[in-house]
Structure 1
Amino acid sequence: MSQLPECVEVGPADASHSVIWLHGLGADGHDFEPLVPELGLDDVRFVLPHAPVQPVTVNGGMPMRAWYDIRSPQIQQEEDSEGIHASQAMLEALIRRERERGIASRRLILAGFSQGGAIALHSGLRHGEPLGGILALSTYLPLAATFEQERTPINQTVPIFMAHGKSDPIVPLWLAEDSRYFLEQAGYSVDWHTYPIQHQVALDEIGDIAAWLRNTLS
């Protein structure tokens, strides 16, 4: 069983819903902590895990918090399958803990930004219980080549929110659009949004996220 990563938690201990939110490369669980009050979901527990520290190839091997290695500037190439699956196992361990704390799987949302969003998408669509939703910001679907044999039909209808900056220099818009098209061709419904920003979260995007979360968790 994978070890639980350290986490920041915001929200009540007796919450009936949970959001597990994974940060991007080089950040930590505190990165999206200031966003939580802006969402207006006082009855929801937000679990914000810290990724492990590991060397990242495209950054000259510098150790930093990362959910998996990035080996090429073209992030969809030379994918770190082992690292992605290790982070999937950590996320599954967090899901199990939320289930043990009384959160039904349909009341649990997986969320993430950039690398964190990639792990949320990858793991959520392979998870063995029906989830409440997947929130994927400024990201893409990794390991698409093995998706068909690994996905689980039970989350075929899971609500998916994808949002992206039109001028993103880190995860290019075309890559996110390819992931969206890939998922739609596989029968998933994607709530797709773009914003005139780069690799970040916009103010109007926060409003759209809050509205989607309220609707999905209701």
Structure 2
Amino acid sequence: MNLETIELQTREAPRFSLLVLHGLGADGNDFVPVVQALDLTPVLTQGGLRVVLPSAPEIPVTINGGMRMRAWYDIRHGDLSQREDADGLRASQALVEELIDREEREFGIPPERVVLMGFSQGCAMTLMTGLRYPKRLAGLVGLSGYLPLLDTTEAQRSPANATTPIFLAHGTGDGVVLPARAKASLAELRRLGYAVDWHEYPMAHEVNMDEIQALQHWLVQTLTAAA
């Protein structure tokens, strides 16, 4: 299945890619303003950047009465650790892996110069895919989300991304992905030895400017290190 994408590019043959996965019910347009707010000048001077913002397929979502909407997987229970949609998660993992592969196949940007980023469900897909992807990635960014299928991560993770840097940020007042779920994910990632740069902000299920500035600093460091 080919995903609809919004693609932004700073020069004809960019050296780096940032793939951004939206949350439940949104689409690829959702994070265009966030991307535009990032000042990544040092990255641009080292070879330019592609930003790819895909839109998830439309599927029925149980928690929303079976309404069809853009979603990376079904949500069946308000407690996100209950009745997880393992099949849906794996299907979207394959879609995201294809996006990563496409960057190298069509644009000559290898995985080690690709950062995978996501918000909410997109964060879940970033961690789900990034930790299992068989080639080294430049970095993983998870905003206001969690690690899905937490109990299977250790057995299924790829050694290729054992030392890949991870940026995680969450709101202390998040009522959608509760802070306790995010912190359980953080604890498991750290138990498994991942280098996680963790940030908390006094906000709900959203993005704020302090978070964007911290992300900007991390992206510049991570991508220039991948050069």
Question: Do structure 1's residue 68 and structure 2's residue 73 form an aligned pair?
Answer: yes
Residue aligning to 1:6: 4
Q: Is the 8 A contact 2:101 2:111 kept in 1?
A: no
Question: Do structure 1's residue 127 and structure 2's residue 133 form an aligned pair?
Answer: yes
TM-score w.r.t. the length of structure 2 is 0.93
1:93 pairs, out of 94, 98, 107, with 98
Residue aligning to 1:182: 188
Q: Is the 8 A contact 1:4 1:94 kept in 2?
A: no
Residue aligning to 1:17: 16
Report SS of the residue matched to 1:187. coil
Separation in 2, partners of 1:149, 1:162: 22
Q: Is the 8 A contact 1:10 1:33 kept in 2?
A: no
Separation in 2, partners of 1:119, 1:54: 16
Residue aligning to 1:115: 121
Equivalenced residues, count: 216
Report SS of the residue matched to 1:31. helix
Q: CA deviation at 1:146?
A: 1.4
Separation in 2, partners of 1:15, 1:174: 39
TM-score w.r.t. the length of structure 1 is 0.97
Residue aligning to 1:161: 167
Q: Is the 8 A contact 1:117 1:137 kept in 2?
A: yes
Q: Is the 8 A contact 2:73 2:88 kept in 1?
A: yes
Q: Give unmatched runs, 5+ long, in structure 1.
A: none
Indicate the structure with greater helix content.
2
Separation in 1, partners of 2:176, 2:60: 18
Which residue type is aligned with residue 33 of structure 1?
V
Question: Which of structure 1's runs of 4+ aligned residues deviate more than 2 A?
Answer: none
Taking only aligned residues, the RMSD between alpha carbons, in angstroms, comes to 0.9
Separation in 1, partners of 2:157, 2:109: 23
Separation in 1, partners of 2:64, 2:77: 10
Q: CA deviation at 1:103?
A: 0.5
Which residue type is aligned with residue 62 of structure 1?
M
Q: Deviations over 1:27-59 (max 9, x none)?
A: 000000111221123521110000000110001
What is the aligned-residue identity percentage? 50
Question: Do structure 1's residue 151 and structure 2's residue 157 form an aligned pair?
Answer: yes
Separation in 2, partners of 1:71, 1:121: 20
Separation in 1, partners of 2:151, 2:215: 29
Residue aligning to 2:198: 192
Which residue type is aligned with residue 148 of structure 2?
P
Q: CA deviation at 1:154?
A: 1.3
Q: Give unmatched runs, 5+ long, in structure 2.
A: none
Q: CA deviation at 1:4?
A: 2.5
